[in-house]
Structure 1
Amino acid sequence: MARDGNAAPPRRDERSEAAWQALLSPEAFHVTRQKGTERAFSSSMCSRFEPGRYACACCGTPLFDADTKFDSGSGWPSFTQALTPDVVAYHADHSHGMTRVETTCNVCDAHLGHVFPDGPAPSGLRYCINALALRKLD
């Protein structure tokens, strides 16, 4: 996914680091703007499966639908696909001695988490997303 390039975003939100810091909690800023990771099982969002959509905590772009959410047992909210192909961007991540695919909001570049090829059908993907990077809509 990271090799094929990313779809053009539906729009762009390019606020300054200071603007993001003023908008977000210190924890959400660390995760989304500094590529941090929250502790596994630190959010009740993992076990919530109400209908609705999940948006980027930074810019509000809808990213995932609850219909694609599943319990991966990983300790982070997990989805099988993005809402539309243009809202999530993919980047090769070689940090921490691993090779992974990082996911970011394609509108504001917020770090969301990673995507892995071990999810359920039909996509076979597991979008492992930090709850602090999401805001529940609807």
Structure 2
Amino acid sequence: MGYKIEKSEEQWREELGEDAYHVLREAGTERAFTGEYTDTKTVGVYHCRACGAELFRSSTKFESHCGWPSFYDPADTDAVETRPDHSIPGRPRTEVRCATCGSHLGHVFEGEGYGTPTDLRYCINSIALTLTPADAES
């Protein structure tokens, strides 16, 4: 699939570092409750760590107590793409990727009863994100 931003795996590895590369380019997962943004309440915009694309806004972040930042809606309908993930036998999931560079962000789950406006939980790895605080955007 062609993305707006494409680089060699060597370029991605050099730019991202080992841990971010593992999650973003190899579809890894950071350990629960260890990520920088799991509990943050900072108002702002979350961007893809790999390419800088706007992905989520803090106004859609909510407390799910799952160990990773949770959002109920992407910043724009075209900001992320989803695809089936059958990497765990017997546990089908829906993978979330950055629509600009194809980097793995996490997974999205539906119908878990959190009472969000979309009934979705985008469970995103902190290491896949960078946060620009609202006061730094001006």
* TM-score, normalisation: structure 2: 0.90
Root-mean-square deviation over aligned CA pairs: 1.3
Contact 1:82–1:88 (CA<8 Å) still a contact in 2? yes
- Counterpart residue identity of residue 125, structure 2: N
Structure 1 Cα separation of the partners of residues 43 and 56 of structure 2: 11
User: How far does the alpha carbon of each residue in 1:2-46 deviate from its partner, in whole angstroms, 9 at most, with x for none?
Assistant: xxxxxxx9x710111111111012100000000000000012411
User: Could you tell me whether the CA contact under 8 Å between 2:32 and 2:67 is conserved in 1?
Assistant: yes
- Residue number in structure 2 paired with 1:3: none
- The equivalent residue for 1:108 is 101
Q: Which residue of 2 aligns with 1:125?
A: 120
Is the CA contact (8 Å cut-off) linking 1:120 and 1:126 kept in structure 2? no
Aligned-residue offset at 1:55 = 0.2
Q: CA deviation at 1:121?
A: 2.2
Separation of aligned partners in 2, 1:93 and 1:72: 21
Partner of residue 5, structure 1: none
Q: Deviations over 1:70-114 (max 9, x none)?
A: 111000000000000111000001111111100000010000000
Residue equivalent to 2:92: 99
Give 1:4's aligned residue. none
Letter in 2 for 1:52: G
Corresponding letter in the other structure for 2:97 = T
Q: Give the letter for the 1:111 counterpart.
A: H
CA distance in 1, matches of 2:36, 2:99: 25
Indicate yes or no: 2:74 matched with 1:53: no
Structure 1 unaligned runs (5+)?
A: 1-8
Aligned length: 129
Regions of 4+ moved over 3 Å: none
